Chain A
């Protein structure tokens, strides 16, 4: 079983090389913020504007992506038009698995998800990472046991982040 770096490095480099607009969500985002929860896959939310869908489809074709949850005989043309017709995809590729979400339950589409995210430098590229408050909303909305057990620790991290932000910048109206 490969480590998490192998699981996330090549897919992130692929997205970075093709300048795909996306935000890192899920367990990897939680880890980057300091959570101790375990994760073994990479989830990203991608922008659905035509130019980004073109870049994303080019990136996916370059690594022979195919749907993980569809039989091989089901025809699937990997282009921007197909991505536009779908929303959330789970791909197997030459560089590993990649889960692409057009919408995150509880948060919305890319513009809503990426708002307020922090930028992280990873493997030579800059990626927005879902902020802790939105991570909590997403996990609460998903509602599975594995999501719910992550929430108390994330809430403690969030409370500390808010306290530090107030100490550094003063209270906000939000």
Chain B
């Protein structure tokens, strides 16, 4: 990746599309991380995230008042 690309996403020039994206709420540091990867690595990263979220949802349990006294580490 070129240094100019890094600069563009980390310090968006005034009036640039990158600046507008940041104002919109996009975290361009994450975009930059993606751009450092190959296309196949980008797909794998997305895959890891989606699989991770699915595992999280499968394992998560909403706690209720009856759990208040439980040890949080167990």
User: A residues near B, CB below 8 A?
Assistant: 1-6, 8, 28, 31-36, 38-40, 120-122, 149, 152-153, 155-160, 163-164, 167
User: B residues near A, CB below 8 A?
Assistant: 2, 4-5, 8-9, 12, 16-18, 20-21, 24, 26-28, 30-31, 34-35, 37, 39-40, 42-44, 46-51, 54, 57
Interface-centre pick from B17, B27, B44 (highest chain A CB count, 10 A)? B17
Contact between chains at B40 and A155 (CB < 8 Å)? no
Residue in contact with B39 in the complex, picked from A5, A120, A163, A167, CB distance below 8 Å: A120
- Residues on the B chain within 8 Å of A2, using CB: 51
Q: CA–CA, A1 to B51, complex, Å?
A: 7
Q: CA–CA, A153 to B50, complex, Å?
A: 20
How far, in Å, is A121 (CB) from chain B's closest CB?
A: 8
Inter-chain contact count A-B, CB under 8 Å? 90
Contact between chains at A153 and B43 (CB < 8 Å)? no
- Residues on the A chain within 8 Å of B30, using CB: 36
How far, in Å, is B60 (CB) from chain A's closest CB?
A: 14
Contact between chains at A4 and B50 (CB < 8 Å)? yes
Closest to A4 in B: B47
Contact between chains at B20 and A160 (CB < 8 Å)? no
Contact between chains at A160 and B8 (CB < 8 Å)? yes
How far, in Å, is A148 (CB) from chain B's closest CB?
A: 10
A160-B5 contact in complex given A35-B31, A36-B30, A152-B17, C-beta closer than 8 Å:
yes
How far, in Å, is A96 (CB) from chain B's closest CB?
A: 14
A152-B21 contact in complex given A34-B35, A160-B5, C-beta closer than 8 Å:
yes
Q: CA–CA, A152 to B31, complex, Å?
A: 12
Contact between chains at B9 and A160 (CB < 8 Å)? yes
Q: CA–CA, A8 to B39, complex, Å?
A: 14
Q: CA–CA, A106 to B54, complex, Å?
A: 34
A156-B9 contact in complex given A1-B50, A3-B47, A36-B31, C-beta closer than 8 Å:
yes
Contact between chains at B31 and A157 (CB < 8 Å)? yes
